[in-house]
Structure 1
């Protein structure tokens, strides 16, 4: 697997649970951004609603992060750049709390609940472990590449 230009038509990005510098979603976003820049993002989209949660928390613009990725920076270099551009500045406990909240986050309104339930049904209605958005993303990645829910 080429991590500098992942082919998301052949495998999913990293799980949203994987952390970089304490941030959930960041490794997944980097995979999606690198794949999009290489024209191999498949059904995955950089700057999707989940990614926008990261951008809202960090105060970083999607385009600014994309520029750093396009410059060929590795995960560690990107993390250093993110830390230098946080607005407002975030402490380690704040980052940990946000990441924990994101891991537990599920639909919080009727429209999102309806969409979530439809996706849950599609992936496997009998799966009682699909409760959060991250559960749903992990299950969708698994099923999209041949797994059985």
Structure 2
């Protein structure tokens, strides 16, 4: 299987990376492939972040996991999603959703969790304000970078 992502050696793609215009999608695919291969490290497929895009697409996590397990590449997965998604969106809607996903800030109960991770990862970085910022710096620090 040549699509294995070893997340014990490097992080998944940034949630800002897009596939078919969708933010979050490449990251979720990396985590799914790694989990199937037993190389997911601390990353989890179908986490709450993944569930956001799965809900937006109207795609079942387990059905998508089966496609990943079949060894399909990103282009094949995107084609499968477009054929199987319950929620169809225009390119403009996808772009707006992806832009909003990249700017999402913690709210409600997630603020404390966000701040715990930021404090542990980058305590002196007040510029870390969105989930995308936090995931990027957390991934970087997890694999030896300095915040």
TM-score by length of 2: 0.96
Counterpart in the other structure of 1:127:
125
Unaligned runs of 5+ in 2: none
Give, in whole Å, the separation in 2 of the partners of 1:103 and 1:13: 16
Counterpart in the other structure of 1:83:
82
Q: How does 1:5-84 map to 2 (within 5 A)?
A: 5-84=4-83
Q: How does 1:96-115 map to 2 (within 5 A)?
A: 96-109=95-108, 111-115=109-113
Deviation at 1:125, TM superposition (A): 2.0
Q: For 1:73, what is the secondary structure of its paired residue?
A: coil
Give, in whole Å, the separation in 2 of the partners of 1:123 and 1:25: 21
Give, in whole Å, the separation in 1 of the partners of 2:29 and 2:51: 13
- Give the paired residue count: 147
Is 1:3–1:31's contact at 8 Å kept on the other side of the alignment? no
TM-score by length of 1: 0.95
Unaligned runs of 5+ in 1: none
Give, in whole Å, the separation in 1 of the partners of 2:13 and 2:66: 20
Is 2:2–2:71's contact at 8 Å kept on the other side of the alignment? no
Give, in whole Å, the separation in 2 of the partners of 1:82 and 1:92: 15
Q: Which runs of 4+ in 1 moved over 6 A?
A: none
Counterpart in the other structure of 1:4:
3
Give, in whole Å, the separation in 2 of the partners of 1:43 and 1:108: 24
Counterpart in the other structure of 1:144:
142
Deviation at 1:35, TM superposition (A): 0.7
